[in-house]
Amino acid sequence: MWEVIAFWVLAVLAVASGIAVFRVDSMARATFLLLASFLFVAGEMLVLELHYLGALTVLMMTAEMAIMAVFMIMFMMNPAGLEPMEMVHNKRGALVISVAVFVALTAAALVVPWPERAAPHPSDATHQLGEAIMRDKMLVMMVVGVGLFATMVAATLLATARGRYGEHAAPSRPEPSPHAHAHHHHAGGDR
Amino acid sequence: MAEPAPMWTVLVLPIVLGGLALFAASLNGVLTAVASGRRATLAEWAEPLRASARLLVRQRRTTFRADVVLRRVGIAGIVVAALLASVPTPLGGVAVADLPVGVVWFNAMEILLWALVWLTGWGGNSAFSLVGGYRFLAQALAYELPLMFALTAPPLAADSLRVGAIVQAQQDVWFALWMPLAFLVYLIGIVGVAFWGPLSPPAAADVAGGVTAELSGADRLVFLAGRYLMLAAGAAFAVPLFLGGGQGPLLPAWLWSLLKMAAVLAVLVWLRRFSLVRAERLMSWGWLVLLPVVLLQVLVVGVVVLLRG
């Protein structure tokens, strides 16, 4: 019984905070209302005993929205909502599109003939989830995952010029000046 | 391990975690006193309580056009996140809820501070507190990935994300002994999560207290309490993860848990003696040293698990 109540409360809250994203005039509020919406969805997953997916949604979305807030605020003229601002452009078109998408998705969710659960609830849903996604390719996926991650780290490393004060910072080579013989700077590092 | 926890554990959790947080605050005060040449008297140990009372009676200062809602969410949220993070942490053999994905749950709750600390910094509509909020995010980018990989090592060895199973798997050898690097990186990550000691630039004096700059009265009390609670939650979670949970001779399991938690917490508090690490240097260390080290550690654990069969 309480699962049904929790499901509906969370569902309403998720949609409501999703709508509120477009009703506020502060970038920070919009960003974190969107995060709130995601967290309510994560709550839905926990109610449905999809523990792993629920926790993962909290984890991914929080980190993502926190970083996104930085960029959204960086590129917005009125991030704090101290001046009047509209979150919506092309109001009518946007409304039509979003309502159409919402109706289509809801209809799909309601119309699709979902299979009845045949087996009892698995003791370890996380394990089953991993099996379902990767099957016997688990090892390959893991190795590829770590490989991709290492590549990303290495690529970032190679592409990054060190900060101004970093301990291992390579001092920028002074421009070869016509009076090179006059001064000879030795700046800290040896690279 | 799957028996449902009794309801009273819900009441015990805030008391135990609050006690640990108070211990951390007191120890911090005593270390400050000793460093400045005073004796560690009982009065010094009780200083956090007096400071709390002072903050409670002081009026709250508000800033011009502050975003009060976001700020309050940030301040109060940290306390909530710390309590929720400790839900799967067992005291002895009993946790509030031994979730099937306890380790991921802790990670998810701890990462809520990305949003909450930033919101506290943003909400004040003040440059210094905003700088503090941004500093926290910059730091988080450096420590979070190593912390996540450090968190994967014990579940890998125990073949379960359930904290109870991880404790069971340490009956012969504590994980801290054969995966010390993961333990070390975990502790560094927790110091970052609670922006404590060397990783406290988000609340450092050079930006007038950063995220705490505009906090006064009850706001300040709740925020600082949340920070100590988070530090305590991290220290407490290290015990089932790396230090064998409640295992130990003679004493009852819950007492062993508590003693180990206090010991880890004391080490973390003591780290305040080290000087601040700048965000960009932390980034270099995090990604060039901690991350490769912890990946190698996970590789070693994986190989051991495979060989053991």
In 3D, which of B84, B142, B138, B111 has the Cα closest to residue A57? B111
Q: What are phi and psi of B224, to 5 degrees?
A: -65, -40
Return the sign of the alpha-carbon dihedral for residues B263, B266, B268, B271.
Answer: negative
Which one has a higher pLDDT value, A141 or B148? B148
CA distances (Å), B283 to each of A157, A168, B113, B116, B135, in order?
Answer: 11, 12, 18, 21, 12
Return the sign of the alpha-carbon dihedral for residues B115, B119, B121, B126.
Answer: positive
Q: Assign B64 to helix, strand or coil.
A: coil
Cross-chain Cβ contact B134/A70 below 8 Å: yes
CB B125 within 8 A of CB B184: no
Output the six-digit token pair for B113.
Answer: 């501070």
Mutation for A interface: B68, B87, B104, most A CBs within 10 A: B104
Answer whether B118 touches A (CB < 8 Å).
Answer: yes
DSSP string, B151-172: HHHHHHHHT-S-HHHHHHTTSS
Quick one: pLDDT at residue B73?
A: 96
Using a CB-CB cut-off of 8 Å, the residues of chain B touching A167 are: 281, 284
Report the alpha-carbon distance of residue B51 to residue B34 in Å, rounded: 18
pLDDT at residue A164 tops 50: no
In 3D, which of B193, B17, B175 has the Cα closest to residue B96? B17
In 3D, which of B138, B145, B148, B166 has the Cα closest to residue B278? B138
Report the alpha-carbon distance of residue B182 to residue B188 in Å, rounded: 10
Cross-chain Cβ contact B65/A124 below 8 Å: no
Q: Cα B116 to chain center, whole Å?
A: 14
Give contacts of B 69-88 with A, CB under 8 A. Answer: 69-70, 73
Tell how many helices (H) and how many strands (E) occur in chain B.
13, 0
DSSP string, B72-112: HHHHHHHHHHHHHHTTT--BTTB-S---TTHHHHHHHHHHH
Which one has a higher pLDDT value, B119 or A176? B119
CA distances (Å), B158 to each of A41, B155, B174, in order?
Answer: 30, 5, 11
pLDDT digits (tens, 9 = 90+) for B74-133: 999 999 999 999 999 999 889 999 999 999 999 999 999 999 999 999 999 999 999 999
CA Rg value for chain A? 26
Output the six-digit token pair for A178.
Answer: 């016509």
Q: Is B171 exposed, middle or buried (0-12, 13-18, 19+ CB in 10 A)?
A: exposed
Cross-chain Cβ contact B144/A157 below 8 Å: no
pLDDT at residue A183 tops 70: no
A166 → chain B, closest CA residue? B281
CB B298 within 8 A of CB A150: no
Output the six-digit token pair for B160.
Answer: 């379960």
Report the alpha-carbon distance of residue B237 to residue B240 in Å, rounded: 6
Using a CB-CB cut-off of 8 Å, the residues of chain A touching B105 are: 51, 55
Output the six-digit token pair for A148.
Answer: 């991709």
pLDDT digits (tens, 9 = 90+) for B119-148: 999 999 999 999 999 999 999 999 999 999
Q: Assign B161 to helix, strand or coil.
A: coil
Report the alpha-carbon distance of residue B225 to residue B188 in Å, rounded: 20
Cross-chain Cβ contact B108/A55 below 8 Å: yes
Report the alpha-carbon distance of residue A66 to residue B307 in Å, rounded: 41
Report the alpha-carbon distance of residue B74 to residue A18 in Å, rounded: 20
Mutation for B interface: A37, A51, A128, most B CBs within 10 A: A51
Write down the mean pLDDT value for chain A.
82
Quick one: pLDDT at residue A188?
A: 45
ipTM of the complex: 0.92
In 3D, which of B201, B191, B273, B200 has the Cα closest to residue B233? B191
pLDDT digits (tens, 9 = 90+) for A41-96: 999 999 988 899 999 999 999 999 999 998 888 887 677 767 767 777 788 998 89
Mean pLDDT by 10 residues, chain B (309 residues): 72 96 96 90 92 93 89 96 97 91 96 96 93 95 95 94 95 94 97 96 93 94 97 98 93 95 97 90 88 92 90
DSSP string, A48-63: TT-HHHHHHHHHHHHH
